[in-house]
Amino acid sequence: MSVQNDLTSNVWVASTADIEHPRQITHGKVEGISGIRWTPDGRIVYTANANGSDDIWIMNSDGSNQRQLTTDPHADSNPAISSDGRYIVFTGGHGGFPSIWRMDLEGANLKQLSDGQEDYVSDISPDGRWIIFDSWRSGRRTPWKIPIDGGQPQQILDKFSSRSVISPDGKLIATLYQESPASIYRILIASFETGQVVKTFDPIGPLDGDAINISVRWSPDGRSLLYVKSRDGISNLISQPIDGGAPKQLTNFKDNGVGFFAFSSDGKTIAFARAAVRSDVILISNFK
């Protein structure tokens, strides 16, 4: 006898004024589980696994006009969109270790920007000049930046971190970090320009692997950081005010927990992946 787990994930959208009543806009097998972002013109760029590996797709905000942008057999993930809507940057495994790739919004002019030292895209600065990414090139996973057209990477912060993101005003970065491999993950805010630590927060209890992988996101007004927290196997959104106020739970889903999430450019809508795992017990007979 064995247990077979079957994962299903799809993209949902909701008004930020009524976040607990989202509507499902994709109906595939594994959609949005490796990244979701909004374009400036209100479309959604997301990952989907339609052919055995994750690729980058784009669709309208109601789920219509779904179109595949990448077709590589290696996984493509973590899309980020430049503020002018010109570029998508993403983590691609084309021919080796994960590295940073850039393409036009419609999928043309694919270009590799980093040299494949296990680099993972996190964000793009609001002015469109910098790509923020996590890299192991220093011997541990830390946040770096590289010009949008490629060039010499620069380390931002010398702390073990997960998917650093930049504030709406471009002045701060936020990340989940560890002081040592054995320590718990904490929330950190630092200067984007100097790397100087500004504030740290403790999340609500220990975070699981999914929450660490998703990391944090800035609220549209830059006053809070959002992350996901799992309880009884279901993830919900938590908001941490950066002024040090008490954290607040924003959703109270009882099933199909929250995965990767992103706010629209005007801050009025949120898109997120919601995943469910079905476990089936398989009886193996006549085994020799």
- pTM here? 0.92
Amino acid (1-letter code) at residue 139: G
pLDDT at 274: 95
- Express as a percent the part of the chain with pLDDT over 70: 93
Partner residues linked to 13 by β-bridges:
23, 271
Tallying the residues shown for the chain, one arrives at 288
DSSP 18: G
Residue 288 placed within a domain = no
Cα gap 74→91, rounded to integer Å = 10
User: Domain range for residue 94?
Assistant: 2-282
Q: Specify which residues 190 forms β-bridges with.
A: 173, 197
Q: Which residues have a Cβ under 8 Å from the Cβ of 189 and sit 6 or more positions away?
A: 172, 173, 174, 197, 198, 199, 200, 225, 242
Q: Is residue 287 part of a domain?
A: no
Is the residue at 73 inside a domain? yes
Residue 23 forms part of a structural domain: yes
In this prediction, residue 287 carries a pLDDT of: 42
Which of 224, 237, 134 is CA-nearest to residue 177? 134
Q: How many independent structural domains does the chain possess? A: 1
Has residue 251 been placed in a domain?
yes
Distance CA 271, CA 161 (A): 24
Nearest to 38 by CA among 264, 261, 220, 219: 264
Q: 78 lies in a domain?
A: yes
Residue 53: the pLDDT is 86
What's the pLDDT score for residue 280? 38
Q: What CATH number is associated with residue 28?
A: 2.120.10.30
Instruction: Give CA angle at 160 (35, 235), nearest 5°.
Output: 40
So what's the pLDDT on residue 222?
A: 97
Q: Cα–Cα distance between 75 and 83 in angstroms, integer?
A: 25
pLDDT reported for residue 283: 42
pLDDT of 213 reads 93
Residue 199's DSSP bridge partners are: 189
Enter the DSSP assignment of 188.
E
Residue with structure tokens 């779904």? 66
Q: Is residue 256 part of a domain?
A: yes
Among the listed residues 162, 155, 112, the one whose alpha carbon sits nearest the alpha carbon of residue 137 = 155
Residue 282 confidence (pLDDT) = 38
Q: Which residues of the chain have pLDDT under 50?
A: 1-5, 279-285, 287-288
**For the segment 25-50, what is each residue's pLDDT rounded down to a tens digit?**
999 888 999 999 999 999 999 999 98
Report the run of H or E that residue 213 belongs to, with start and end: helix 209-214
